[in-house]
Amino acid sequence: MTKNRNIPEGPEKSGEFRDSTDTPVDDIHRRIVGREQTEPDEGLEPPPAWVWVASVLFLFAMGFYLGRYGGSWSTVAHEVESPMSAAATPAKRVVDGAQVFVGVCQTCHQANGGGVSGQYPPLADSDWLTSDPETPVRIVLFGLEGPITVNGSSFNNKMPQFADKLADDEIAAVVNHVRSSWGNDAPPIDEAVVAGIRAEIGTRGPWGAAELLDARKRK
Ligand code: HEC
């Protein structure tokens, strides 16, 4: 067995330590250290795959949650949960009768309620309109046709029905408006009156003047 000069030898069999001055310790260290990999830095290891999967699932879940319950970042969204807020008791809409009149009735009955001679009867000072509230509601709901005398003038034309086009509160508002405009001074009605007449009659064709007088007497 030949001695390797570079490998330090253990204690001699004799039990004596060999003088180490001629042992090239630096050389040996350099070789050993150079052969070894440097230790990987702790904390920079790539995370395991399940961490990636869990993170992606978590992000999707949170995105879904925000989309579903985030209320589009609206501050109003939170009022739904607060019973004290105004949203819990939705404000009843207030219909402007004058606006309904302008949009729906004015083309025929004119802005001053004077109608058009021979074609559209006046609403100003009309006792069809002011003597009881139900008659104008009946007219607006189902229309009116045939001969009729208004304020001493004769008409024989046709007014369309509005049961399909106007809601109860709109009809109540516009009837209240015309009953209290152009010198008319009749008390207002509630939309329940409109709902009652609508429910009672259902659907029908336009009234004639005589039918309206009958209905007024029967009530
Ligand atoms: C397309 C034209 C037209 C529109 C729109 C119209 N009316 Fe009439 N209205 C008439 C005609 C025509 C008569 C008379 C029918 C007849 O000759 O039998 C009449 C009659 C009336 C009468 C009974 C007669 C009188 O002058 O008092 C009232 C009340 C009335 N309309 C209210 C309204 C109200 C309120 C509206 C709007 C919601 C309205 N009308 C929309 C044409 C119209």
The pLDDT value given to residue 190: 95
Q: What is the Cα–Cα distance from 173 to 177, expressed in whole angstroms?
A: 6
Residues with CB under 6 A from ligand 1: 104-105, 107-109, 120-123, 126, 128-129, 136, 139-140, 144-146, 148, 150, 155-160, 162, 174, 178
pLDDT in tens, 136-184: 999 999 999 999 999 999 999 999 999 999 999 999 999 999 999 999 9
pLDDT reading at 39 higher than 80: no
CB atoms within 10 A of CB 170: 22
User: In the structure, what pLDDT confidence band is assigned to residue 6 with cuts at 50, 70 and 90?
Assistant: low
Q: Which atom of ligand 1 is nearest to the CA of 115?
A: 26
Q: Which of 100, 129, 138, 139 to mutate to test the pocket of ligand 1 (most atoms within 8 A of CB)?
A: 139
Residue 150: phi and psi, rounded to 5, are -125, 120
Q: How far is the CA of 114 from the centre of ligand 1 (A)?
A: 11
Of 42-51, 59-68, 121-130, 162-171, the poorest mean pLDDT is in 42-51
The pLDDT value given to residue 23: 80
- What is the SS3 assignment for 79? helix
Percent share of the chain, pLDDT over 70 = 81
User: In the structure, what pLDDT confidence band is assigned to residue 103 with cuts at 50, 70 and 90?
Assistant: very high
Contacts of 201 (CB under 8 A, 6+ apart): 138, 141, 142
As separate numbers, helices (DSSP H) first and strands (DSSP E) second, the chain gives 9, 2
pLDDT in tens, 14-37: 555 666 677 888 888 888 877 666
pLDDT reading at 3 higher than 60: no
The pLDDT value given to residue 145: 97
pLDDT reading at 56 higher than 70: yes
Maximum Cα–Cα distance across the chain: 151
State the fold for domain 97-218.
Cytochrome Bc1 Complex; Chain D, domain 2 (1.10.760)
pLDDT reading at 130 higher than 70: yes
User: In the structure, what pLDDT confidence band is assigned to residue 1 with cuts at 50, 70 and 90?
Assistant: very low
Q: What is the Cα–Cα distance from 116 to 215, expressed in whole angstroms?
A: 27
The pLDDT value given to residue 82: 53
